[in-house]
Chain A
Amino acid sequence: MKKQFFGIVAALTVLLATPTMAEIKIGASLPLTGGFSIAGSKHEQGYQLCVDLINEKGGIMGEKVNLIMSDNRSDPATAINQYERFINVDQVDAVFGTFSSRLSFPVANILEKNGFVHPLPAGGALRIYTQGHQKVFYFQPSAAEYVGATLQGILEDLVPADDKPATAAVVAADDFFANAVEAGLLGMEVMDPADGSVVEDLAPGFLVDAGVEIVYSEKWPEEGFNDWLTLANSIKRSGAELIVGLTASAEEAVQITRALKTVQADPKMVYFSQGTQSEYLEGTGESSNSVLVHTSWHPAVPFQGLLAGESFSNQDFVKAFESAYGQAPDEDSAIPFAVCQGIEQAIIGAGSTGNDAMSDWLKARTLDDPVRTILGRFAWDERGLPKDKPFLMSQWNDGELQFVYPTDEFEGVQSMTYPKQGF
């Protein structure tokens, strides 16, 4: 017994005396189960691939990256707890943000309180950036409230003036992100939830600006909604020529597309806020033809980023992703990959994992000296929103997600199909 005791003590002494490998700990809480699990799982792949590639190239400044990921079950309270645990128990050096505005909004307060840089892969609602937080950096084009500017641009630049849709039906998930896009399209006031003050008045809204009359608008609840045919029937009966579906997930985009096909709706133009994913094509088939979906990323866009101090293009990412996971990536994996690139560059640029130094370095980025990612260049305004960063508009045609707008920034832009020929 005595012998065993001394044996254990000796083993523990050896273990404790062994020098630990230097590493950079990064925490990420993601919705791997629950309502956001589809996007959350893809975010996990994006973060993991980026960290694996960095570690393969020797880590950041010679230190391996140890990525700690937890499943927050799509629950805001769990996400908050997990970030607190990363900071106080795991003692991480940095964090990657979570998915969705609903989860990012409360998490932003915790990270701000603890002085952590908060790089957001998905959290487009303007309210996140108007709370006065100093270390928030959004890694997608603009805030959701401005998504409609791209749709307005298409109506003005790509649609023949004499055949423009005159009326629109705007249907939206009752979701943080979808509500924000809706606010921009319909020209609503954005309120600060803390004191009810008006953060921004978006009147008259992008659709009115584009000369489109709203003839029907409706919301569906965030979870548990199954009555898509009734909703599609109401849209059809409104006679709207433009259908705007502010879907919060590819699943909703599938359901509403199938329902619109069933009721034989026949609009000139259809735009969804989610639906670039391969699951959308699988669930809708030919009905997806001519459907427009805004996106932050497209495989054909020739963005040049940096990884481990070396040039790393968007096409390098596609190749590495296909090699690692045996399937093509979509924006839900590309965006977190860009977040990881941004944090890597911030650590290298700051020369340390100090969050104040990283934040200062990120804030000092300009359009001429930006963070370079597979989503393009990033420099942020004082709110943490990217400067001069419009959304891309993509369109499904013959099973291919084509990149159609803007037309003058990159090669590879294809002509937009208009009008839509039924579902």
Chain B
Amino acid sequence: MILLIQTLILGIALGGVYALMGSGLSLIFGVMRIVNLAHPSLIMIGAYVAYWPFRLSNIEPMFMLPVAAIILACIGAILYRFVFEREARSAKYSEMTVLLTFALAMVVEGMLGTAFTNTQRITSPNYATEAFFLADIFIPKGQLYASIISIIIISALALFLKYSRLGYAIRATTENREAAELLGVNVNRVGLISFAIGLALAGAAGALVSFIFSFFPSKHWEWIVILMSLVVLGGMGSILGTVIGAFLLSAVAALVGTYFGATWSTLTFFIALFVVLLVRPQGLFGEKPELA
């Protein structure tokens, strides 16, 4: 029983980090229909923004979270304006963005490799390797803090989307881009802001990831499958779905790892991706795709 509880705690703690990593991806798809394969590589930039101040001046990685978010938001605005906005009305926009973001991921990887070499990095604040012990159960501090911060950020985003004027516009654009435009929403501006927010989430996730996982420029290829599977499980475009998908898949992977072996835990994400696409392509909270 203790092993079961312990495994669930570890899975859920990791799920909080995955939730923030995936929520930006989901938001960008929801509003813009951009399948952003470059999202993990942009998370990597956030991780480097947290890493260097820690390395050079021992600055707490979590203090760098807002800085990483702002830097990535700016990068997002520039990318959207000059790369993604141009073909936004194309019928094949989503398909095009797959190729475009794949190329973007390669470019970001190359630039990071040139700037920082392919050496692995990780920040090491004390709490990253400490845990709270409650009898035989432990809760890793690093993952716990990262999960709490993730939930706070995602909750703030949810409140913003639900109650702010801009949030209304974003939700309206997510639900029906043409109708929103007809009602006077500046969908290009909404797209730009949503893309910037999505990348700000990537930056924030990067700062948290910096003390949980080792990272180096090409590491992002390992993350994309995990992120895609939890976003697809939750429903592409649904932030709530992404959060639930992250906790669910992470907990299941931990259980599989404990009871069936570590080799199978990673496979959990692949299997989930296949099963969801076969059985319920819209995911848990996504919209059912319309038939042409």
- B131 touching A234, Cβ below 8 Å: no
Q: Which residues of A contact B225 (CB under 8 A)?
A: 224
Contact of B129 among A41, A220, A250, A262 (CB under 8 A): A262
- B265 touching A227, Cβ below 8 Å: yes
Please tell me if A320 contacts chain B, counting CB pairs below 8 Å.
no
- A37 touching B217, Cβ below 8 Å: yes
Which residue of the partner chain B has the closest CB to A35? B218
Please tell me if A415 contacts chain B, counting CB pairs below 8 Å.
no
- B7 touching A230, Cβ below 8 Å: yes
Please tell me if A188 contacts chain B, counting CB pairs below 8 Å.
no
Q: Which residues of B contact A35 (CB under 8 A)?
A: 218, 222
- A34 touching B218, Cβ below 8 Å: yes
Known: A32-B118, A287-B129. A262 touches B262 (CB 8 A): no
Q: Which residues of A contact B131 (CB under 8 A)?
A: 262-264
Write the A271-313 contact mask toward B (1 if CB under 8 angstroms, else 0).
0000000010011110100000000000000000000000000
**In the complex, which residues 203-232 of chain A have their Cβ closer than 8 Å to any Cβ of chain B?**
218-221, 223-227, 229-231
Q: Which residues of B contact A262 (CB under 8 A)?
A: 129-131, 138, 140, 142
Write the B249-266 contact mask toward A (1 if CB under 8 angstroms, else 0).
000011001100111011
| Interface size, B (range) | 35 or more
Known: A41-B117, A250-B120. 7 other contacts (CB 8 A): A35-B218, A220-B266, A224-B269, A226-B266, A233-B6, A262-B140, A287-B129
Contact of B217 among A33, A227, A261, A279 (CB under 8 A): A33
| Distance between A107 CB and nearest chain B CB, rounded to angstroms | 20
Please tell me if A251 contacts chain B, counting CB pairs below 8 Å.
yes
- A255 touching B214, Cβ below 8 Å: yes
Write the B1-45 contact mask toward A (1 if CB under 8 angstroms, else 0).
001001100110010000000000000000000000000000000
Q: How far, in angstroms, from A287 to B121 measured CA to CA in the complex?
A: 16
Please tell me if B170 contacts chain A, counting CB pairs below 8 Å.
no
Which residue of the partner chain A has the closest CB to B225? A224
- B214 touching A224, Cβ below 8 Å: no
Please tell me if A377 contacts chain B, counting CB pairs below 8 Å.
no
Please tell me if B124 contacts chain A, counting CB pairs below 8 Å.
yes
Q: Which residues of A contact B119 (CB under 8 A)?
A: 38, 41, 279
**In the complex, which residues 140-191 of chain A have their Cβ closer than 8 Å to any Cβ of chain B?**
171, 174
Please tell me if A117 contacts chain B, counting CB pairs below 8 Å.
no
Please tell me if B146 contacts chain A, counting CB pairs below 8 Å.
no
Q: How far, in angstroms, from A262 to B144 measured CA to CA in the complex?
A: 12
Q: Which residues of B contact A249 (CB under 8 A)?
A: 120
A-B contact pairs, 29 of them (CB 8 A): A33-B110, A33-B118, A34-B218, A37-B216, A38-B118, A38-B119, A38-B120, A38-B216, A219-B261, A219-B263, A224-B266, A226-B14, A227-B262, A230-B11, A230-B258, A230-B262, A231-B262, A237-B3, A250-B120, A251-B214, A254-B120, A254-B122, A258-B128, A263-B131, A263-B138, A264-B131, A264-B133, A282-B124, A283-B124
| Distance between A129 CB and nearest chain B CB, rounded to angstroms | 27
- B253 touching A227, Cβ below 8 Å: yes
Please tell me if B285 contacts chain A, counting CB pairs below 8 Å.
no
Q: How far, in angstroms, from A301 to B231 measured CA to CA in the complex?
A: 52
Q: Which residues of B contact A237 (CB under 8 A)?
A: 3
Q: How far, in angstroms, from A224 to B258 measured CA to CA in the complex?
A: 17
Please tell me if A342 contacts chain B, counting CB pairs below 8 Å.
no
Please tell me if B267 contacts chain A, counting CB pairs below 8 Å.
yes
Q: Which residues of A contact B117 (CB under 8 A)?
A: 41
Please tell me if A97 contacts chain B, counting CB pairs below 8 Å.
no
| Distance between A275 CB and nearest chain B CB, rounded to angstroms | 12
| A binding-site residues for B, Cβ under 8 Å | 32-35, 37-38, 40-41, 74, 171, 174, 218-221, 223-227, 229-231, 233-234, 237, 249-251, 254-255, 258, 261-264, 279, 282-285, 287, 423
Contact of A219 among B14, B122, B226, B262 (CB under 8 A): B262
Please tell me if B102 contacts chain A, counting CB pairs below 8 Å.
no
Q: Which residues of A contact B6 (CB under 8 A)?
A: 233
Write the B220-244 contact mask toward A (1 if CB under 8 angstroms, else 0).
0110011000000000000000000
| B binding-site residues for A, Cβ under 8 Å | 3, 6-7, 10-11, 14, 109-110, 113, 117-122, 124, 128-131, 133, 138, 140, 142-143, 213-214, 216-218, 221-222, 225-226, 253-254, 257-258, 261-263, 265-267, 269
Which residue of the partner chain A has the closest CB to B13? A229
Contact of A225 among B118, B121, B266 (CB under 8 A): B266
| Distance between B254 CB and nearest chain A CB, rounded to angstroms | 5
- A230 touching B263, Cβ below 8 Å: no
Contact of B257 among A32, A227, A279 (CB under 8 A): A227
Q: Which residues of B contact A255 (CB under 8 A)?
A: 213-214
Q: How far, in angstroms, from A32 to B117 measured CA to CA in the complex?
A: 10
| Distance between B140 CB and nearest chain A CB, rounded to angstroms | 5
Q: Which residues of A contact B222 (CB under 8 A)?
A: 35, 223-224
- B216 touching A220, Cβ below 8 Å: no
Listed residue (B113, B117, B129, B142) with the most chain A CB atoms within 10 angstroms of its CB? B129
- B120 touching A218, Cβ below 8 Å: no
Q: Which residues of B contact A221 (CB under 8 A)?
A: 262-263, 266-267
Contact of A283 among B120, B130, B218 (CB under 8 A): B120
Listed residue (A171, A224, A231, A258) with the most chain B CB atoms within 10 angstroms of its CB? A224
- A230 touching B254, Cβ below 8 Å: yes
Known: A221-B267, A224-B225, A231-B257. A33 touches B113 (CB 8 A): yes
Listed residue (B128, B143, B226, B263) with the most chain A CB atoms within 10 angstroms of its CB? B263
Q: How far, in angstroms, from A255 to B129 measured CA to CA in the complex?
A: 10
Known: A33-B113, A229-B140, A237-B3. A41 touches B118 (CB 8 A): yes
Q: How far, in angstroms, from A251 to B118 measured CA to CA in the complex?
A: 12
Q: How far, in angstroms, from A279 to B113 measured CA to CA in the complex?
A: 16
| Distance between B247 CB and nearest chain A CB, rounded to angstroms | 14
Q: Which residues of A contact B121 (CB under 8 A)?
A: 279
Q: Which residues of B contact A250 (CB under 8 A)?
A: 120
Contact of B118 among A40, A227, A254 (CB under 8 A): A40
- In the complex, the 5 A-B pairs of residues with the closest C-beta atoms, listed nearest first: A37-B118, A220-B262, A261-B129, A224-B222, A251-B214
